[in-house]
Structures are given as C-alpha cells and as structure tokens.
Amino acid sequence: MTTKTITTKSGKTITVEMVREVQDKVNYSDGYNIVTGREIVEYTNITLRDATGKTLMTGDEIDTPRNIPSEMKVKGAVACIGNAYVTQEIVDLVTAAFAELQAKNPKSDEQVAIESAKAQAIADHDAWYYSDDAIASRKLERDMDDPNSDY
C-alpha cells in the first residue's frame, strides 16, 4: 500500500491511497481454510479533508458525469469523486498523485502473469464458443429440445 498526501492552496488535504498486491485466495469450508490459488487485490481510495481534519468526501475514482448541475458548474465543478463535485485543480492534483503512486508501486511479475493467464483463458473460451462446431452443437441441442422436432 502506498499513500500520497497533498495540501491544496486553501488548506484542504487530499489523501490518495493505492493498494496493489497478490494474495492467497482462501476458501472457507466447514472450518477448514483451503488455499485455492492466488488472487489480485487492487483498489484506490481518495479522501478530501478540510483544514481541521474533517472528512469532506471519499471516493475510489474520478468520475466525469454527463450532467453536472448548473449551480456546481458555476462554482467550477468539472468532475465527481465519490458524491462530491470537484474543480479542475483537485482533479489535476489527484491525477498527478495517481501517476506518482503507480510509478512507486508497479505491477509485480506474478500479477502480470495472473492477468495474462486470465486473458488467455477468456480468449480460448471465446475461440471455442464461436467455433463452427460449437455453434452447430448448440443448434442441434435447440432442435432436439423443440417439441415439434423429429429428433
């Protein structure tokens, strides 16, 4: 876990936290903890606090909604973090903090291997599912299930 804290001109603090790791995947079965493989844990948290330390908003990503209320646009809102509208200054600070945290905490070789194996499994499934044999098999099964069929 890596954390970056930034103080704005107005005295507010922005804390950006990034967690990127690989851990054991545990299956809890009748009192036994069985390790069934490895899993990727990756998430981010963004917290904005005022000068006194009171939490103003929390979120996990910068969202750019289509419909920002006009009263928020007048105040300079361009994006949303959690349930709060934020200005371009805060968006730039958070984006810079994310870039710095990603440079400090790159993906491990194990995480890259897990992601590529998952992508390969999806590609293999799609290649089989859309093959001519699989399509013909599904068509035959539908025909056999039809009550008006001769099968």
Query: Which pLDDT belongs to residue 79?
Result: 92
- Which tokens is 135 given? 């399509």
Residue 14, beta-bridge partner list: 6, 48
Query: Which pLDDT belongs to residue 55?
Result: 93
Query: Which pLDDT belongs to residue 83?
Result: 87
Query: Which pLDDT belongs to residue 34?
Result: 95
- What parts of the chain have a pLDDT lower than 70? none
Buried b / exposed e over 112-129, threshold 16 CB at 10 Å, is eebeeeeeeeeeeeeeee
Instruction: Find tokens 């399509």 and name the residue.
Output: 135
| Domain boundaries along the sequence of the chain | 2-106, 107-151
Query: Which pLDDT belongs to residue 66?
Result: 83
Instruction: Find tokens 């089989």 and name the residue.
Output: 128
Query: Which pLDDT belongs to residue 88?
Result: 92
Burial group, residue 97, by CB count within 10 angstroms (0-12, 13-18, 19+): buried
**Can you tell me whether residue 114 is helix, strand or coil?**
helix
